[in-house]
A = this chain, B = another copy of it.
């Protein structure tokens, strides 16, 4: 084990996903020789714990990657665009959680349960898909393999932690303010009240595209095809922020080429890697954001036939957006690189 241990960098260590990286690397006993925590100048000097030891966060510079074998990036697309090239130049392999390179033809976009074979094609960077896409494709791949998915209609219920630690703070403070009946809460992040409300715009800061879709919706539509390796899958998405701290929920409708029953889907998913079926309506058991938080699996329930078409299935898919939706998936990719 000691021999295969590698020098590892975490870029964006102090963010919501950065913290998860450390917890997941610990719990999976990832063989770390040297750990280098990197962040913006603002966060440099902070201390973070890993395996009981304090590590100091360093400022990210183009020289940060010397001797680093694997660099986990989660600091946004512009940081990745700027620093991934330096990391590659230094001989690191990057697993990038941002959208910067996801749709580049020569960059593999990988969910280990779905397309592990694509990792081998990398040229220094492997892209980690968008959180809401990851959990959906994990749940849909086994169905696609058996019944071939023609079309997906997805509506999401996404947690605020997808917008970072500040978003969690804003939701909590605004919620307290509404409960207290106070007026004039000052928002920094969300364009509208998120407490006791739902916002059909993700990310909250970015412009809508000319076709009326948000970039999050386009990610689900485009990344799904690339990860599944099938450009014939048609996807339409509506992505919505809900006042939930952690875990994204998704209402997913699929139309298949071959008829598949709800019972068959349940059976298939029950034995599929990374999935836990929670589907016991008689006991009011179905996947819940609060139950998925802090856990690794993609939870699937409410599996039922769509009676509006001949060959359709409805599913409810829930997963921790910071874990399988981000840090865990990236660490799984890193494990396959070893």
Interface residue from B198, B251, B286 paired with A201 (Cβ < 8 Å): B286
Which A269-290 residues have a C-beta within 8 angstroms of B? 281-282, 284, 286-290
Interface presence of A191 (CB below 8 A) = yes
The minimal Cβ–Cβ distance linking A240 to chain B, given in whole angstroms, is 7
- Cβ–Cβ contact B251 & A284, under 8 A: no
Interface presence of A148 (CB below 8 A) = no
Interface presence of A231 (CB below 8 A) = no
Chain B residues positioned under 8 Å from A262 (CB to CB): 212
We find that the number of chain A residues with CB closer than 8 angstroms to chain B is 58
Copies of this chain, tallied across the complex: 2
Known A196-B244, A309-B234; judge A213-B157 contact (CB<8 A).
Answer: no
Which A44-60 residues have a C-beta within 8 angstroms of B? none
Known A197-B244, A306-B236; judge A282-B208 contact (CB<8 A).
Answer: yes
- Cβ–Cβ contact A240 & B306, under 8 A: no
Interface presence of A312 (CB below 8 A) = yes
Interface presence of A165 (CB below 8 A) = no
- Cβ–Cβ contact B236 & A314, under 8 A: yes
- Cβ–Cβ contact A238 & B314, under 8 A: yes
Chain B residues positioned under 8 Å from A243 (CB to CB): 196, 242-244
Chain B CB within 10 Å, residue with most, of A196, A213, A305, A314: A196
A282 to B236, CA, bound (A): 21
Interface presence of A110 (CB below 8 A) = no
Interface presence of A43 (CB below 8 A) = no
- Cβ–Cβ contact B153 & A213, under 8 A: no
Proximity bits, A181-203, B CB within 8 Å = 1, else 0: 00000000001110011111100
The minimal Cβ–Cβ distance linking A175 to chain B, given in whole angstroms, is 6
- Cβ–Cβ contact A238 & B251, under 8 A: yes
Interface presence of A179 (CB below 8 A) = yes
A240 to B125, CA, bound (A): 39
Chain B residues positioned under 8 Å from A37 (CB to CB): none
- Cβ–Cβ contact A192 & B240, under 8 A: no
- Cβ–Cβ contact A240 & B244, under 8 A: no
Which A260-317 residues have a C-beta within 8 angstroms of B? 262, 281-282, 284, 286-290, 301-309, 312, 314, 316
Give chain A's interface residues, CB within 8 Å of chain B: 151-153, 155, 157, 171-172, 175-176, 179, 191-193, 196-201, 207-208, 211-213, 221, 234-236, 238, 240, 242-245, 249, 251, 253, 262, 281-282, 284, 286-290, 301-309, 312, 314, 316
24 contacts across the A-B interface (CB closer than 8 A): A151-B308, A191-B284, A192-B288, A193-B288, A196-B244, A198-B244, A198-B288, A198-B289, A200-B249, A200-B287, A200-B302, A207-B281, A208-B281, A211-B305, A212-B262, A212-B281, A212-B303, A221-B308, A234-B308, A236-B306, A236-B308, A236-B312, A238-B316, A251-B251
